[in-house]
């Protein structure tokens, strides 16, 4: 199964919490604070891998989560950092943020990678807050939350030459003759339902990649047939082999119609160099072949008349493709990339305030983590928590919600009576 468009959900690792701990050793009076910092959460990284040719695996697994950082440890020991999660994708994959629609990466080359979600920073332990005037801090810091986001992965095949044309023009037969590709071939429209890739060896010993693009018909740029799904795969090619069926009523007219679809889809496709190939001459009248050849010669620089079924003229077409590719630079067509701020935005300081019966509930990710690492039996730690909540605008939001002196406030497991003196 060929899959070239998927959506996945990713989450980087949460940073570990710092802890409150004390140095307690024999013969060491007043050992002082010794709470270690939490580890950094693992990041999520996408990496291009030329050994993968489809996005199929993402149809079966669509949620990916990196490891969390460990909490800090006593004796000033740092928590272990979370392991980064590296997700391999096919070379040629475009990464798009689903929420904003912006393109954040174009992984066109082998080994190219991008961080799509940074891991959360680890929280500081109480040892980090010790000062000459505050020698015994009874508080620590929570780790940052990881980043959750949804991404769209779109694959654009990397091929040197793309073979285009109407259904049944002989594209699949041609690629099976000139390469080792074995596409399904039958005498009915839309035999080919997915793009096929074939490699043709050059005299120098390396190879060029051909892509057979199926389902291209008039109206494809507007979604007709299968062509719209696969036009993206010819955007990265450097030259097009335009296959025409001589048995059709108007092969030259078909040539014009397909080129109009390419132009409607993108200016880049319309600008690609083309080699026009008239196919099935073994079963056509020579007079018609000559007439169509002349018409196409008036429209295009390079025109060939071949029979893919009998291999007549196929080698000449490939030789010209190889020759022209030497003159066309390997400048992969790339899409404009936008700066990806969401990959490192750990700000989850938003919160909600709502009333439930006689109490006011405050709900928010960062606030909950602050509560979890605060020693609520320690006045110093509670005082610091109050200052943080005030700076975040929690108390102002409670006032706007209608709270009054003596009303109960619940933040996760922390309950207290509101006072205007706070």
In the prediction, which pLDDT does 382 show?
A: 84
In the prediction, which pLDDT does 11 show?
A: 97
- Which one is predicted more confidently, 13 or 56? 13
Residue 280, H or E segment: none
Backbone phi, psi, residue 25, to 5°? -135, 150
Start-end ranges of CATH 3.30.300.350 in the chain? 352-417
Start-end ranges of CATH 2.70.210.12 in the chain? 5-156
E-strand spans in 232-307? 239-245, 273-279, 302-305
Q: In the predicted model, is pLDDT for residue 348 greater than 90?
A: no
Q: In the predicted model, is pLDDT for residue 209 greater than 60?
A: yes
Q: In the predicted model, is pLDDT for residue 172 greater than 70?
A: yes
- Which one is predicted more confidently, 199 or 304? 304
Stretch 362-383: mean pLDDT:
84
Q: In the predicted model, is pLDDT for residue 276 greater than 90?
A: yes
Start-end ranges of CATH 3.40.50.300 in the chain? 161-327
Residue 385, H or E segment: helix 379-392
Q: In the predicted model, is pLDDT for residue 50 greater than 50?
A: yes
Instruction: Give the predicted TM-score (pTM) of the model.
Output: 0.77
- Which one is predicted more confidently, 368 or 197? 368
Stretch 263-273: mean pLDDT:
86
| Candidate from 86-95, 144-153, 192-201, 241-250 with smallest mean pLDDT | 192-201
Stretch 15-40: mean pLDDT:
90
Candidates 302, 300, 307, 303; CA nearest to 284 is 307
Q: Across all residues in the chain, what is the average pLDDT?
A: 86
* pLDDT tens track for 214-261: 766 655 445 444 445 667 777 788 999 999 999 999 999 999 988 988
The CATH fold assigned to 352-417 is GMP Synthetase; Chain A, domain 3 (3.30.300)
Question: Quick one: what percent of the chain has pLDDT higher than 70?
Answer: 91
The CATH fold assigned to 5-156 is Spo0b-associated Gtp-binding Protein; Chain: A, (2.70.210)
Stretch 386-396: mean pLDDT:
91
39: confidence class by pLDDT, cuts 50, 70, 90? very high
In the prediction, which pLDDT does 320 show?
A: 93
15: confidence class by pLDDT, cuts 50, 70, 90? very high
Contact 277, 239 (CB under 8 A): no
2: confidence class by pLDDT, cuts 50, 70, 90? low
- Which one is predicted more confidently, 315 or 339? 315
Question: Quick one: what percent of the chain has pLDDT higher than 90?
Answer: 45
101: left (phi over 0), alpha (psi -120 to 50) or beta: left
User: Could you tell me how far CA 117 lies from the centroid of its own chain?
Assistant: 11
* pLDDT tens track for 108-149: 888 999 999 999 999 999 999 999 988 889 889 999 999 999
Backbone phi, psi, residue 105, to 5°? -160, 150
Most confident of 19-28, 228-237, 278-287: 278-287
Between CA 279 and CA 290 the distance in angstroms is 13
In the prediction, which pLDDT does 186 show?
A: 47
Alpha helices for 143-239 (secondary structure H): 171-178, 227-230
- Do β-strands 93-97 and 44-49 pair in parallel, antiparallel, or remain unpaired? unpaired
Q: In the predicted model, is pLDDT for residue 312 greater than 60?
A: yes
1: confidence class by pLDDT, cuts 50, 70, 90? low
Candidates 41, 47, 16, 48; CA nearest to 148 is 41
* pLDDT tens track for 142-154: 999 999 999 999 8
Match domain 161-327 to its CATH number in 1.10.3720.10, 3.90.420.10, 2.60.40.10, 3.40.50.300. Answer: 3.40.50.300
């Amino acid at each position: 199964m060929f899959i070239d468009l998927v959506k996945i959900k990713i989450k980087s690792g949460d940073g570990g919490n710092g802890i409150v701990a004390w140095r307690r050793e024999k013969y060491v009076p007043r050992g002082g604070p010794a709470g270690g910092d939490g580890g950094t959460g693992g990041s999520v990284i996408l990496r291009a891998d030329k050994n993968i040719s489809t996005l199929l695996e993402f149809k079966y697994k669509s949620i990916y989560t990196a490891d969390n950082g460990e909490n800090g440890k006593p004796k000033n020991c740092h928590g272990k950092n979370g392991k980064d999660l590296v997700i391999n994708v096919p070379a040629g994959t475009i990464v798009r943020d689903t929420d904003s629609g912006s393109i954040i990466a174009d992984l066109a080359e082998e080994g190219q990678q991008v961080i799509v979600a940074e891991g959360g920073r680890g929280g500081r332990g109480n040892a980090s807050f010790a000062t000459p005037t505050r020698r015994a801090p009874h508080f620590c810091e929570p780790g940052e939350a990881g980043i959750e986001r949804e991404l769209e992965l779109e694959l654009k095949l990397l091929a040197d030459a793309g073979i285009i044309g109407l259904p049944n023009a002989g594209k699949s037969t041609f690629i099976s003759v000139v390469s080792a590709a074995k596409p399904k071939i039958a005498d009915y429209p839309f035999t080919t339902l997915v793009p096929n890739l074939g490699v043709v060896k050059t005299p120098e010993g390396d190879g060029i990649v051909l892509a057979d693009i199926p389902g291209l018909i008039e109206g494809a740029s507007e979604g007709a047939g299968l062509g719209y799904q696969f036009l993206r795969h010819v955007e990265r090619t450097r030259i097009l082999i335009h296959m025409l069926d001589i048995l059709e009523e108007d092969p030259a007219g078909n040539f014009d119609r397909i080129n109009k679809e390419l132009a409607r889809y993108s200016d880049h496709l319309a600008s690609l160099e083309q080699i026009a190939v008239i196919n099935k001459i073994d079963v056509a009248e020579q007079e018609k072949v000559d007439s169509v050849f002349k018409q196409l010669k008036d429209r295009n620089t390079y025109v060939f008349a071949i029979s893919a079924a009998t291999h007549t003229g196929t080698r000449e077409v490939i030789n010209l493709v190889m020759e022209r590719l030497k003159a066309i630079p390997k400048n992969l067509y790339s899409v404009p990339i936008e700066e990806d701020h969401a990959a490192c935005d750990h700000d989850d300081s938003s919160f909600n305030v709502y009333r439930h019966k006689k109490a006011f509930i405050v709900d928010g990710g960062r606030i909950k983590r602050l509560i979890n690492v605060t020693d609520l039996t320690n006045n110093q730690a509670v005082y610091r928590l109050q200052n943080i909540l005030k700076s975040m605008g929690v108390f102002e939001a409670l006032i706007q919600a209608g709270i009054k002196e003596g009303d109960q406030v619940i933040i996760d497991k922390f309950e207290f009576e509101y006072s205007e003196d706070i």
